[in-house]
Each structure stands twice: as structure tokens, then as C-alpha cells.
Amino acid sequence: MATAEQTSEPQKAENMHSAPSSLSKDAWLRMKKNKVAMVSLGVFIVMIVLCFAMAWKCKDPNIINLTNKFAAPSAEHWFGTDALGRDLFSRILYGGQISMLVGLVATFVSVCIGVTYGSISGFAGGRTDAFMMRVVDILLSIPFLVLVIVLQAVLKDWSSDTSAWFVETLKWKKDFSDRLTNIIPLFFALGIFGWLTLARIVRAQVLSIKEREFIEAAHALGYSNSRILFRHIIPNTLGPTVVYATLTVPSFIMYEATLSYLGLGVKPPNSSWGILIKEGANYMETHPELLLLPGFFFSLTLFALNFLGDGLRDALDVKASKD
């Protein structure tokens, strides 16, 4: 290209800078053509805006009005009120913050662990692989509840102490640091188990990718193992990883509800979609809207996320646009 010679140095440097992002840029261009994915993305963004930006403008979700429970939808309460007379709409939005955060962060954490672990296992092969996979077997069989109870006991004081430390030393707002420190043990509990299946999937992918010739070329160029693993193998496992990861989001969100009841996670009166659905299910006969409304938000988000994941997989698959 003739212009390449003519461009000045700074511009070149800028081009260089943007070069590494071109995979994502490229993927974005491809995804823009996928209507279903784009609609899903739109829905997802609307959800995020609703929960994280709009929620602050809503009523306080924790104000109890015992005389106005199970109120029908009205201008005052768009979705009516719950069993303690709290505004359901703002509870759903505030709950969405927690659930999305939990779902996405826990998924992110488990993807990080799962991909790293699975790819190392598959890449190393042989005994290391067998050993690492047996560790996964063990973790899969550990009684979850027991671990949660132990964690709860161990971390009970930890979170209040840490929160106090944040407030004193870092001058954080107490409310914020309380929420944060409550939710960290939750990630811990979810993180221990969430990545296991993913690690298996990634491992299987790596097993086939590591036989490819470009990996051999990388060996021939003398690259270190970690470079080969992280630069050459892992990016090629992204497709199935993304799809599986979107499938795990709902289970993380529902686990959060269970764990919150065991004292790990959201502290009452705060709520989450999982908790709202769990509690709403109890009023199935008399007030089905308590189940259906949060369930609708939950499902809509997950549908969007799922089709987004599919779209992302196709977009990340550079080969797909070969023909």
C-alpha cells in the first residue's frame, strides 16, 4: 500500500495501538449484521439502563407499608406492592442490580478460572491432565451445602470487619462497603464450583486445537508455553466458552437466592431477582404477579443474553465469514 509509506510516524503509532483490538472490532462488525443478536443487545442494554440508571429515580425499594400489601398496579406503584407493601417495580430494578452483577461477575470469574484451568490441563496432557481432571471430579462431588455453611461461618466476621476497615481507612460509604463485603463471599462460593464444567469443555477444545499446525509453528518459533497457551490456544476456544457461559448465568442468579438464605450474599431487606422469584413462587396461588413480574425481567434478560452469546460466538468465529 503506497500510503503506508507516506503516513507520518505518529499516525503509524496510533494504528499500531488499535491493532490488537481489531479482533473485537471485527467481531462487532460481524455481529451488527445479526439481527437477533442486535435486538438482544438492545434488550440487554435497556435492562442495564433500567436497573443501574433508572433505579435511583424510583421509590425506595425497602420502605414497608404493612397496610398496603399486595396492592394492585397503580400510578403510585406501577407493578403494585409485595407482601410487606413494598413497591414491586423498584424492588425488581434494585434486585436486578444484584442479580446482573452476580450473574455477570460470577460468570466472568468462573470463565477466567475455568478457561485457565481447562486449557492448562488440556495443554499439559498426560499425567498432569489426568490429575487436574480428577481434581475437577473431586470438586464436583464435594457437598455444596456443607462448603457454604463452613464459608458462612468463616466469613461471617470477615465481611463486617472488612467493611468496617473500608469505612475507617478508605472513608467509603458504609452502605456501599457493606454491600460489597457481603457479596464477595458469595462470589467466593460460586467461584469454587462454577468453573468445573467449563474447565471440562475448554479442555476438550484445547485437546483438539493443540494438535493444529499453527501451534506447532509457534513451538518452532520458540515461544514459551504460556505464550502459546494464552496467545494462541485460548483465543481459539472462545466460541463454545461464550455459549456455555451464557447458559450458566441463570444458575448463578438462582444460586445467589439460595445462598442469601444461608447468610451468604444479599442481606435483607435488599433483594435480587432470585430472591423475588423464590418468594414470589410461594404466592403462586393468590398473587401470581409476584412470581411472574420478576420472572419476566429475569427471563427476558437471560433470553437476550443467550442470543447475544450465540451471536457473539458466530461473530468471534472468524472462519464463519470465510465463504
Partner 1 sequence: MIRFIFNRFLQGLLVLFALYTITFFLAKAMPGEPFTSEKNVSEFTKQNLRKLYGLDKSLPEQYFRYPYRVLTQGDFGVSSSKGKPVRDIIANSFPVSLVLGLGALGFAVGIGIPLGILAAIRKNTWVDWGLMGFAMIGICVPAFTIGPLLQILVAANVPWLKVAGWGSPQDFLLPAFTLGLVSAAYLARLTRGGILEILSQDFIRTAHAKGLSPTTVILKHSLRGGLLPSVAYLGPAFAALISGSFIVESIFLVPGMGQHFVNAAVSRDEFLLLGVSMFFGFLIIVMNLFSDILTGVLDPRVRMGKEGA
Partner 2 sequence: MPILDIQNLKTYFHTRTGTTKAVDDVSFSLEKGEILGIVGESGSGKSVTCYSLLGLLPQPPAKIEGGCVPFDGEDLLHVDPAIQRKIRGKRISMIFQDPMSCLNPYLRILDQVMEPMLAHEPGATKEQARERAIEMLKKVGIADAEERAHSFPHEFSGGMRQRVMIAMALVTHPDILLADEPTTALDVTVQARILRLLKELRTELDVSVIFITHDLGVVAEVADRVVVMYRGKVVEEGTVREIFDTPKHPYVKGLLACRPTFQTTSRMLPTVEDFLEGKTTIEVQEPKPAKDTQEEAPPEPLIEVKNLKVHFTQSKDHQLIKAVDDVSLKIPKGKTLGLVGESGCGKTTTGRAILQLVKATSGQVFYDNHDLCQLHRDQLLPYRKKLQIIFQDPYASLNPRMTIEQALSEPIRFHQICTGRAETRDRVVSLLEEVGLSAEHLRRYPHEFSGGQRQRLCVARALAVEPEFIVCDECVSAMDVSIQAQVLNLLRNLQDSHNLTYLFISHDLSVVKFVSDYVAVMKAGKIVEQNTAEDVYRNPHQDYTKELLAAVPGEG
Partner 3 sequence: MKTFRNLFVITQSLLLASILLLQTGCEGETTVDKATREGIFLMGNSAEPKDLDPHIVSGVLENNIISSLFEGLVLEHPSKDGVALPGVAEEWYPEDKENPTTWIFKLRKEAKWSDGHPLTAEDFLFSFRRILTPELASDYAFMLFYIRDAEAYHKSQRAYLLCREEEDFPVEWESLKDVDFGPNDEAEEDLFNRKGLDLLTAKELEELIKEPKLFEWPESVTEEVRNLILEKSLEFAKSGKKIWDLIDFGATAPDPHTLKVELNAPLPFLPEVTKHYTWFPVPKHAVLKHGRMSERFTDWTKAENLVCNGPFVLKSWVFNDHIEVERNPKYWDAENVQLNGVRFLPIANLFTECRMFFNNQLHVTYTLAPELIEYAKLHYAKNLRNELYLGTYFIRTNTTRKPFDDPRVRLAFSMALDQKAIIDNVLQGGQKPATGLVPAFSGYPDANMVKFDPEGAKKLLAEAGYPGGKGLPDIEYLTVDKETSKAVGEAMQAIWKEHLGANIEIVQMEWTSYITNMFDLNYDLAAGGWIGDYMDPLTFLDMWMKGAGNNRTGWSSEEFENILKEASAATNAKDRYTLLSKAEKLFLSERPILPLYYYSRNYLLHKDVKNWHPLLLDHHPWKYVKLQRD
Residue ranges in 54-73 that form contacts with partner 2 under rule CB under 8 A: none
Helix 88-124 to helix 238-261 angle (10° resolution) is 130
**C-alpha–C-alpha distance, residues 305 and 251, integer Å:** 13
> Could you list the residues that contact partner 1 (CB under 8 A)?
36, 130, 134, 137-138, 140-143, 145-147, 149-150, 153-154, 197, 200, 204, 243, 247, 250-251, 254, 277-278, 281, 284-285, 291, 295, 298-299, 302-303, 306
221 is a site residue for partner 2 (CB under 8 A):
yes
Nearer to partner 3, 36 or 281 (CB): 281
Give the position of cell 468462573. Answer: 110
Residue 83 in contact with partner 3, rule: CB under 8 A: yes
d(CA 132, CA 122) in angstroms, rounded, equals 9
Using CB under 8 A, which of 86, 200, 232, 313 touches partner 2? 232
d(CA 32, CA 311): 9
Instruction: CB nearer to partner 3: give 157 or 213.
Output: 157
For partner 3, which residue of 282, 296, 320, 321 counts as binding (CB under 8 A)? 282
Distance between CA 241 and CA 209 in Å, rounded? 14
CA distances from 115 to 151, 185, 197 (A): 25, 22, 10
Q: Which letter, b or e, does each residue of 95-107 get, where b requires 16 or more Cβ atoms within 10 Å of its Cβ?
A: bbbbbbbbbbbbb
DSSP run (H or E) holding 39: helix 35-48
Mapped onto helix, strand or coil, the DSSP state of residue 58 is coil
DSSP assignment of 288-303: THHHHHHHHHHHHHHH
Tell me which of 150, 212, 261, 281 binds partner 2, using CB under 8 A: 212
User: Which amino acid is located at 45 in the chain?
Assistant: I
Residue 154 binds partner 3 (CB under 8 A) = no
- Among partner 2, partner 1, partner 3, none, residue 250 binds (CB under 5-8 Å by kind): partner 1
The three-class DSSP label of residue 198 is helix
Residue 157 or 213: which CB sits closer to partner 2? 213
Pairwise CA distance, residues 295 & 292, whole Å: 5
Smallest separation (angstroms) from partner 2 to the CB of 234: 10
Check residue 16 for interaction with partner 2 (CB under 8 A).
Answer: yes
* Amino acid of residue 312: L
Select from partner 3, partner 2, partner 1, none the partner in contact with residue 140, using the beta carbon and a kind-dependent cut-off of 5 to 8 Å. Answer: partner 1
Which residue stretch of 43-51, 134-142, 180-188, 222-230 sits at the interface with partner 2 (rule: CB under 8 A)? 222-230
For residues 59 to 78, the per-residue mask of contacts with partner 3, x marking binding by CB under 8 A and - elsewhere, is: ---xxx-xx-x---------
DSSP conformation class of 210 = T
- Binding site residues, partner 3, CB under 8 A: 62-64, 66-67, 69, 83-85, 145, 149, 152-153, 156, 160, 260-263, 267-269, 278-279, 282-283, 285-286
- Binding site residues, partner 2, CB under 8 A: 1, 4, 9, 12-13, 16, 19-20, 22-23, 26, 33, 212-214, 216-223, 227, 231-232, 235-236, 318-319, 321-323
